[in-house]
Amino acid sequence: MAQNTATSSTDLLIRFLHIVIILSFTGAYLTGDAEEWHQVHMAFGYTLGISLILRILWQFLASRFAHTQPSGASRRFNVIKPFVQRYWAQPQQWLSPAFLKAASSSLFQLSILGAFCLMPLTVLAGFLTDYTHSHSLKELHELFANLFLATVLLHLTALTLNSVLLKKWLAKRMFWGTQSHSWFTLFASVLSLGVLVAFWFWYFS
């Protein structure tokens, strides 16, 4: 398999983990209030945590071994900072097409940063709630989960607005692509799938 030397931020493993995170959070949120689904709720929560760990590891490994460059916090801040510096003191431009494009892109990046901050807090609060049965921790867990949902809605809104303004469906690159992948990307993707399958097998055995 030929190596991909492009600076892609959406390689195969990024797409896989993106889908897993979507499904895990959706499953966890929908089963959060049903006592009979508590074990499934916890499994989704742990899967969310494992996916986050794999995503962080990939952030450091991808550029060294897979020749891809997943977007990190600094790259996302580099989108937000120029927008704030340019438009913060220029309210007369807030309805211009250029402003709307920059605003939707910045909100999109901000929503991703928010999601990655809230994800570990939500998972950790859920784990501690299950371990201690503390009502206060349960309320904190629900607060983080609702804030996470808010960032997801912001993410989808910004993505939709940006896609309309640019006349291009931007979401498709997070679900499929035509570029080739290095052997390390394929290996890491299969390994990540194996880790998640093994966890679910172990958890319910």
Counting as low any pLDDT under 70, the low residues of the chain are: 1-9, 89, 92-94, 177-179
Contact 130, 69 (CB under 8 A): no
Set out the domains of the chain in order of their start, with CATH numbers: 12-203 (1.20.950)
Question: 89-117, pLDDT tens digit by residue?
Answer: 677 666 777 788 888 889 999 999 999 99
Q: What are the angstrom distances between the C-alpha of 15 and each of 9, 61, 177, 186?
A: 10, 16, 9, 12
Contacts of 182 (CB under 8 A, 6+ apart): 1, 3, 4, 65, 66, 67, 68
CB atoms within 10 A of CB 165: 16
- For residue 4, what pLDDT is reported? 40
pTM for the predicted model, two decimal places: 0.86
- How is residue 93 written in tokens? 């431009």
